[in-house]
Amino acid sequence: MECVFGLVGNDFAVVAADTSAVHSILVHKSNEDKIMILDSHKLIAASGESGDRVQFTEYIQKNVALYQFRNGIPLTTAAAANFTRGELATALRKNPYFVNILLAGYDKETGPSLYYIDYIATLHKVDKGAFGYGSYFSLAMMDRHYHSGMTVEEAIDLVDKCIVEIRSRLVVAPPNFVIKIVDKDGAKEYAWRESVKDAAVASA
Amino acid sequence: MSIFEYNGSALVAMVGKNCFAIASDRRLGVQLQTIATDFQRISKIHDRLFLGLSGLATDAQTLYQRLVFRHKLYQLREERDMKPETFANLVSAILYEKRFGPYFCQPVIAGLGDEDKPFICTMDSIGAKELAKDFVVAGTASESLYGACESMFKEDMEPEELFETVSQALLSSVDRDCLSGWGGHVYVVTPTEVKERILKGRMD
């Protein structure tokens, strides 16, 4: 089951997502990147219906870029989150997107922030959030160990604690995770946590 | 589970002597899981008018945005704030527009009308108004709230006593409802000031 979670630290926000692409009982791939870099200082970690996930997050990414081209300045994280919620809410009663989103961003004026946006367009600014069956474990671990103003090392340690819990306690636990971080220097991939590597393709 | 009980909510508004109080719980949940304990259910429309929205959080957010938009237009055209009675009619009309595909919300409206007379009302999800002289309730804990308010309410309470009454009624009711709680948010509004207080109750 898809696991996505994230938290806000001292002057950064970190999100982690599992990397398995699954259809019924078949694992198509175990290195699917579900955290999209929205713009220089924003990350979208998405979980849900695979087609909707890719299409919707790309749609948001292109619209955020369009805003920057038209107006010369990037959207704030709050604005991007509200735009995303608006798109989900408009589509909700016509053709809903089954995508749950954690939007992490860093703004110069307001610092790091994390927004919880579920598939029925409920928007809430949070310090820690999670989606999926893994959320039962990761939210509990974060409730226990999280405090405001964590350093990068403390936060990654907590993320690893959550991953260990998910791996050991969730029956269909995804083997691999990707961790991405956003701070004043931008959004970037921090690390992968792999316990199963895809077999190398034999050369022709 | 009913769609009205998906996120969990509790709202109450009570009339005092030339003042009113409106209070809500702070939990945002997704069925059995708690997502946040600082969710704002009550919003200010203008200094003498408050709106609380219980029910499905996404519809509460959409409805709030639509109502703020309509009120701002009204302010531009009429060059004054809306009276509470007028606003209640507006909310009722907007809800009935969606009669066959409704917003899953139950609003509670509280304001000071002409001559500082307190006005409270609630309505169902399709806009059937319920005016009351004493108190109105909404949300998953509404049945407990009816009982608590009925027994604790007195006519013409001063703001301080009104605050105590509303707080006790809210906390005792949400303690019997697993879907609402995690503290309380109380606004006591008099013609001269608005006092916002956070209650600490059973954090479960």
pTM for the full predicted model:
0.95
Predicted local distance difference test score (pLDDT) of residue B151: 97
Predicted local distance difference test score (pLDDT) of residue A113: 97
Q: What is the pLDDT of residues A117-149, one digit of tens each?
A: 999 999 999 999 999 999 999 999 999 999 999
Q: Which of A40, A50, A44, A42 is nearest to A4 (CA)?
A: A44
Q: What is the pLDDT of residues A34-63, one digit of tens each?
A: 999 999 999 999 999 989 999 999 999 999
Instruction: Provide the token pair at A109.
Output: 């004026």
Predicted local distance difference test score (pLDDT) of residue B88: 98
The rounded mean pLDDT for chain A is 95
Instruction: Provide the token pair at A180.
Output: 């991405």
Cβ neighbors of A198 (< 8 A, separation 6 or more) are: A29, A30, A31
Number of Cβ within 10 Å of residue B143's Cβ equals 13
| % of chain A beyond a pLDDT of 90 | 93
A120/B36 touch (CB, cutoff 8 Å), yes or no:
no
Predicted local distance difference test score (pLDDT) of residue A203: 74
B58/A120 touch (CB, cutoff 8 Å), yes or no:
yes
- Once rounded to an integer, what is the mean pLDDT over residues A61-66? 96
Q: Which of residues 51-70 of B touch A (CB under 8 A)?
A: 56-58, 61-62
B35/A126 touch (CB, cutoff 8 Å), yes or no:
yes
Helices (H) and strands (E) counted in chain B, each on its own, are 4, 12
Instruction: Provide the token pair at B19.
Output: 């003042």
Q: Determine the Cα angle at A110 with ends A109 and A112, to 5°.
A: 125
Cβ neighbors of A144 (< 8 A, separation 6 or more) are: none
Beta bridge partners of A182: A13, A187
Q: What share of chain B is helix, strand, coil (3-state, %, to 5)?
A: 35, 30, 35
CA-based nearest residue in chain B for residue A90? B62
B61/A126 touch (CB, cutoff 8 Å), yes or no:
no
Instruction: Provide the token pair at A83.
Output: 């735009």
> Is the Cβ–Cβ distance between B95 and B123 less than 8 Å?
yes
Q: What is the pLDDT of residues A183-202, one digit of tens each?
A: 999 999 999 999 887 766 77
Predicted local distance difference test score (pLDDT) of residue A1: 76
Measured in angstroms, the CA of B47 and the nearest CA of chain A are apart by 24
The residue ranges of chain B whose pLDDT is under 70 are none
Q: Which amino acid is at B73?
A: L
Predicted local distance difference test score (pLDDT) of residue A115: 98
Helices (H) and strands (E) counted in chain A, each on its own, are 4, 12
CA-based nearest residue in chain A for residue B102? A93
**Chain B residues near residue A118 by CB distance under 8 angstroms:** 30, 58
Name the DSSP letter for residue B104.
-
Give the whole-angstrom CA distance, residue B80 versus residue B77.
8
Number of Cβ within 10 Å of residue B79's Cβ equals 7
Burial class (CB in 10 A: 0-12, 13-18, 19+), B2: exposed
Name the DSSP letter for residue A29.
E
